[in-house]
Amino acid sequence: MSVSRSAQAALAVLLAGSVAQGVLTTAASARGGLDDVPPAAAVATATPDKPFDGDRTSNLDKASNPDKASASDPSLPPPATGLEAVTPAEPAKADPARSDAPSPERPAVAAAPTAPSDPQAAAVFNRLAASAPLLARLTTKERESIQAFYALGAFKPVWIVDGAYTPAAKAVAARLAAAPEDGLDARAYPVPALPKAAKPDNPGTGESAAGSDNLAAIAEADLKLSAAAVLYARDARGGRLNLAAISRLITPTLDLPAADTVLSSLAGAGGSAGDLLQAYNPHSPGYLALKNRLSVARAPAVKEDARPASAALRLPPGPALRVGMRDARVPLLRAHFDLESRKAGTLDAPPGDAEEYDSGVAAAIAGFQRSRGLPGNGVLNVQTVVALAQGAGPGAGQAGIVRPVGDDAALIVNMERWRWLGSDLGPDYVLVNVPEFRLRVFRDGRQRDEARVIVGKPDSRTPLFSGLMEYAVVNPSWYVPPSILKTMLPKIASYGGSTWGGYEIVRRGGHVSLRQPPGEKNALGFIKFMFPNQHAVYLHDTPNRSLFSRSERALSHGCIRVDDPFRFADVVLPNWTEERLKKLVGKGERTIRLEHKLPVHLAYFTATVDDGGSYRTLPDLYGYDAPMRAALGLGGGGAMARVSPPAVRPSEPTRRTAEAVSVPAPPKPRHSAVPRRAVRASAEAPAPEFGEPGLWTPNPAPVSRSWW
């Protein structure tokens, strides 16, 4: 089949697909039109094995004949006529909206949610869209999460159905009202009351006589209960305070729950929703002990038959009294506690020496101490004398009425600090209580060992956070910190040697550092325990052993020095015994990785309850109590921590014996008796006042390590 030139030209135009309509019209006018051209469909589909079908049409047919296309499709523009369409004119301005040039792909913009058709859902939608806050302390992220949660349920109320609170709502409201049990402020979680006209006239339809005002009130109540539950969960996990305003060294890793996660778990929990909400509080024994103490302290006064009496007793000054001592104050104590004066060891003898501080007086003092939250050791010390002078405190109007002592604010502040450690500490962890200068190791949920520690001075405080112990290093080297090194660089720069005062001078690319090699004079001792953190602190040994005999052990520059570190290593490294570790001493630096990372918590508790139920208060070493009281609305000092004068420290408890850990039994020694271990002597010179760990000196004093 022959095809005319005009048909070939038209076919070329159709295949190109980019010729302007005006050009196509000009060609048609010059050639007398395109009516003599066969249909494009026929040209495109005619093949040797497929005969031409003259009745088939397509979009190409419209493109090849604009007149027909415009006539049949009114959406297309009419074709240009004559030569006017191709008359040169000023260049057409580019339309940015219809530019042929490729443009970068724009991100898809989510369509704004539309208000639901249901009137009650629309009221919830409109309240969420309003700018008014649901609760003052609710964050923007939490509000957006609440909105996303309601959007999943088509913005229908969660807690109010047919004008009444659901069982889950009632359980949540009850827990919010009981927030003071966990040291939280119930005023921060107001439970909204249902509007009077909340009961619909036709249950199930949502229709109410109050109209739109009632729908808005229901939406407000439902959303505020959600906001209160979200805020409670956040506060229970430790999100109540801006810790950076108290100290930049308080950097716990808080596990704050997402708002939609909280609401999803509570909404379908029914009557157990309150228990789920309360479970966001810590479960650790230390927290629960303080919580129980707070409950007892807030309970109404109870009448007891046991002494001590409620009247105040002011004693003249004098030394601390123990059993067997004589003092003129003892008769005053006997009269105060209604004790007869008998000879020691006799019950049927007539009254004897009234000034003897015997076991009977000591027992009465011990009972009084326990009732006042003091260690019940029976010693008439300064704390006991002060407590006797205070009597039973305000509210005890008659003899025999006893109120347990325990400052509510101190309890709440320390309960808040437990939240920094997480809701569940797990079975294995290390807990360092900085104000107590004490370290405890827990395995399988039980305390395995404890040790005295040295912590940072008030002007170089130990940071408070949680980390994971990953490895220990035996025979570690120590690099002089930059804070010290910068003061010595001028001298080192003019010194050409490679060692200086027992330290190696390391020069690398213009940088100079001082390295103290491993050995008995090393400032880190023979072992260090690493839990990588942003503060670059760790646990380590020290050659300056005499410092552990002090009662006040805030002596370091931030790191924690451990008493008897190889005994501590025996507990935290299950596959290594103390004897096996000591054999590595002096054999070069050795890194031992833990098979399972061990959580380490550097905590700050100034009020504790021990296993025996005794309540202890400790001096506020870094001055954190007052700003925390103020931030929690309990009264106190300013926003920043200030170090208070040192207070009288309670007597330190005796260190427990480490419990056996499941490790292979060591081989029997060749000698019949274990040789006595000598006490490691301290350095002759006192520790300098700079650097961590605070023992750097160009010429370290000799140290005796004969006990190794």
Per-residue pLDDT at 56: 38
- 637 burial (CB, 10 Å; 0-12 / 13-18 / 19+) is middle
Number of helices (H) and strands (E), helices first, in the chain?
20, 19
Higher pLDDT, 707 or 226: 226
pLDDT at 416 over 80: yes
Q: Which has the minimum average pLDDT: 511-515, 535-539, 562-566?
A: 511-515
Tokens 């003898």 locate to: 349
Q: Report residue 278 as tokens.
A: 């309360």
Amino acid, single-letter form, for residue 703: V
Cα–Cα distance between 527 and 517 in angstroms, integer?
13
Q: What is the average pLDDT across 226-245?
A: 96
Higher pLDDT, 136 or 62: 136
Q: Which of 561, 542, 533, 541 is nearest to 434 (CA)?
A: 561
Cα–Cα distance between 378 and 366 in angstroms, integer?
4
Q: Which has the minimum average pLDDT: 93-107, 312-326, 565-579?
A: 93-107
Tokens 């001028």 locate to: 490
Cβ(250)–Cβ(464) under 8 Å? yes
Q: What percent of the chain has pLDDT over 70?
A: 65
pLDDT band at 494 (very low <50, low <70, confident <90, very high): confident
Q: What is the DSSP string of 133-198?
A: -SSTT--HHHHHHHHHHHHHTTT--SSEETTEE-HHHHHHHHHHHTGGGGT--GGGS--PPPPTT-
Cα–Cα distance between 635 and 409 in angstroms, integer?
8
Max mean pLDDT range (82-86, 471-475, 681-685) = 471-475
Q: Where do the structural domains in the chain lie, given as residue ranges?
A: 5-87, 128-280, 301-403, 425-605
Tell me the pLDDT tens digit for each residue of 47-68. Answer: 434 443 444 344 434 444 444 4
Cα–Cα distance between 430 and 319 in angstroms, integer?
38
Tokens 């080297």 locate to: 477
Q: What percent of the chain has pLDDT over 90?
A: 42
Strands 438-443 and 429-433: antiparallel
pLDDT band at 80 (very low <50, low <70, confident <90, very high): very low
So which residues are the catalytic ones?
Answer: 540, 559
Count the neighbouring beta carbons within 10 Å of the beta carbon of residue 332: 16
Say yes or no: domain 425-605 is CATH 2.40.440.10: yes
Tell me the pLDDT tens digit for each residue of 557-594. Answer: 899 999 999 999 999 998 898 889 888 888 888 999 99
Q: How far is CA 689 from the centre of its chain?
A: 33
Tell me the pLDDT tens digit for each residue of 260-276. Answer: 999 999 999 999 999 99
Per-residue pLDDT at 513: 83
Length of the chain: 708
pLDDT band at 207 (very low <50, low <70, confident <90, very high): low
602 bridge partner residues: 432, 465
Q: Report residue 71 as tokens.
A: 């006539």
Max mean pLDDT range (470-474, 476-480, 679-683) = 470-474
Tell me the pLDDT tens digit for each residue of 609-633. Answer: 887 778 889 999 999 999 999 999 9
Cα–Cα distance between 622 and 104 in angstroms, integer?
57
The CATH number assigned to the domain with range 301-403 reads: 1.10.101.10
Q: Report residue 680 as tokens.
A: 């490691």
Q: Report residue 538 as tokens.
A: 């760790």
pLDDT at 352 over 70: no
- Please provide the average confidence, as pLDDT, over all residues in the chain: 75
